[in-house]
Amino acid sequence: MRNEVVLRVGAKVLIPFILLFGLYVQFHGEVSPGGGFQAGVICAAAFILYGLVFGLETAQRVLPLGVVRTLAALGVLIYSGTGVVSLLLGSNFMDYDALAHDPSHGQHYGIMSVEMGVLVTVFGVMVVIFYAFAGRGASE
Amino acid sequence: MTQFLGLYNYWIVVFLMMVGFYVLISQGNLVKKMIGLTVFQTSVIIMYITMGKITGGTAPVLLDREAVYSNPLPHVLMLTAIVVGVATTAVGYALIVRIKEAFGTVEEDEIEDSAL
Amino acid sequence: MLAVTALGLLRVRNLFGVVMLGGIYSFLSAALFMVMDAVDVAFTEAAVGAGISTVLALGTLALVGSEQSPPRHKSTLPLIVVLITGAALIYGSMDMPPYGAADNPIHLHVAPEYIEGTREDVQIANVVSAVLASYRGYDTMGETTVVFTAAVGVLILIGDLRRRRRKGEER
């Protein structure tokens, strides 16, 4: 009984910091080690911690299965969408130079946008897999 | 002699790869096989990263001064390799769960017996 | 240390211990990557290998049971295969260029272009992110699609929550 209280309070304190760190890694991925994949996994780990401590039902009320599945697909869409936007602006597929008024800003916008796509997909996929494994166990 | 020390890295990688390979083909339990596969994949990644290192270099994050950077290309390839590896391991574990539900066991010998 | 962990993984029978040893192996290799200046790879290996892989393996163990039966037949054939493959690989590694030299062929052709190009055209500090997202962006798109496909695969295999009601018909 007492252990459960410690877990719950500890998790409630830690989870916002883990999410914040994940977002930090994502946005600083251009200046320091990091980037979309690491950030996606860290954010997913925060959510999985929430699911493990508070129960699968509570976690699925926060992020229902349909929403998470959509997130997983949405990230791939954002990524390819960046490439298509470059096409529509008159340049080659995924040529980031065309995205802004000068090439280095264009590269910057392009990289930020694709890393965002990667973050959303990796987060969605990890949570989907967690729901699948945990949901299977609950049904037996 | 220095050549031997330089080669020691590759020999350790080969040893790890062979241990992973042995677990993969000789152990009967499916979950242990998957862990052996993970060991195998990680040892291949170690090998590529070893090839990319430059003595006296630093991490490939640009600094304002002139510096020697370790080769960033193997890092990029291995980043992709790690993520694809975890994707395949996830599907593999899902298959193991289904096998357990279909056959009742995850030992290779018992699955062969019951399939006969 | 990595070798000892791998050997321990081979001998331990309790699967929970095997999974934990796998996590230790991932952490040790992440430390090794840090020593070899591969900071992005170390970060990803620590997060993915020691985090997600271990969670997935533990989830599987919760569903399939965690003791391994003793082996039923002798394993000389796998041992011979492994020894022959290992000998061939070591023979192949004799030709490798010296470790860490700055004029190895691997460092000469594309890598300086990427480093210079990141400084001039792309102008962000993390060369690995620039190569991943800009120079090799197409590969990363394929990788993201692979991750999505893995989610689809897992969902097809064990995803359906509506099966909870059909529990009686499963076995």
In this predicted model, what pLDDT tens digit does every residue of C105-138 receive, in sequence order? 777 777 778 887 777 777 787 888 888 888 888 8
Region B83-111: mean pLDDT is 85
Residue of B nearest to C40 (CA): B75
B residues 64-83 lying closer than 8 A (beta carbon) to C: 68-76, 78-80, 82-83
Helix segments in chain B, DSSP class H: 2-26, 30-52, 72-103, 108-115
CB contact under 8 Å between C37 and B59, yes or no, is yes
**For residue B42, pLDDT beyond 70:** yes
List of chain B residues whose C-beta atoms are within 8 Å of the C-beta of residue A32: 61
Which of C120, C138, C147 would best serve as a mutation to test chain A binding (most A beta carbons within 10 A)?
A: C147
The minimum CA-CA distance between B65 and chain C, rounded to whole Å, is: 12
Distance from CA of A3 to the nearest CA of B (A): 30
CA pseudo-torsion sign C71, C75, C78, C79: positive
Please tell me the distance in Å from B64's CA to the nearest CA on chain C: 10
Any residues with CB less than 8 A from the CB of B103 and at least 6 apart, and which? B110, B111, B114, B115
State how far the Cα of B52 lies from the Cα of B77, in Å rounded to an integer. Answer: 11
The whole-number mean pLDDT for each consecutive block of 10 residues of chain C, a chain of 171 residues, reads: 76 79 88 84 86 82 72 76 87 76 73 79 80 84 91 85 51 44
Q: Which residue of B has its CA nearest to A37?
A: B83
Do C132 and A35 count as a contact with CB atoms less than 8 A apart? yes
Instruction: Please tell me which residue, A106 or B63, carries the higher pLDDT value.
Output: A106
SS3 state at B27? coil
Encode pLDDT of A23-68 as tens digits: 988 888 878 887 888 889 999 989 988 988 888 888 889 888 889 9
Residues of chain B contacting A38 with CB distance shorter than 8 Å: none
- Out of C64, C79, C128, the one facing B97 most closely (by C-beta) is C64
Which of B59, B60, B81, A35 shows the shortest CA–CA distance to C129? Answer: A35
Measure B78 CA to nearest chain C CA, in Å.
7
Segment 74-93 of chain C within 8 Å of chain B by CB = 75, 78-79, 81-83, 85-86, 89-90, 93
Taking residue B44's Cβ as centre, other Cβ atoms within 10 Å add up to: 16
Chain A residue with minimum CA distance to B81: A37
- B61 → chain C, closest CA residue: C126
The reply to whether residue C93 touches residue B7, judged by beta carbons under 8 angstroms, is: yes
Whole-model pTM: value is 0.86
Q: In which band, very low, low, confident or very high, does the pLDDT at A140 lie, cut at 50, 70 and 90?
A: very low
Residues from chain A that touch B34, judged by Cβ atoms under 8 A, are none
Question: Could you give the CA distance from residue B65 to residue A85 in angstroms, rounded to a whole number?
Answer: 36
- Residues 6 or more apart whose Cβ sits within 8 Å of residue A26: A34, A35, A36, A39, A40, A115, A116, A119
First to last CA, chain B: 56
Please, what is the angle between helix C76-93 and helix B2-26, to 10°?
A: 150
Interface membership of C141 toward A (CB under 8 Å)? yes
Report the range of poorest mean pLDDT among A116-125, B27-36, B56-65, B75-84.
B56-65
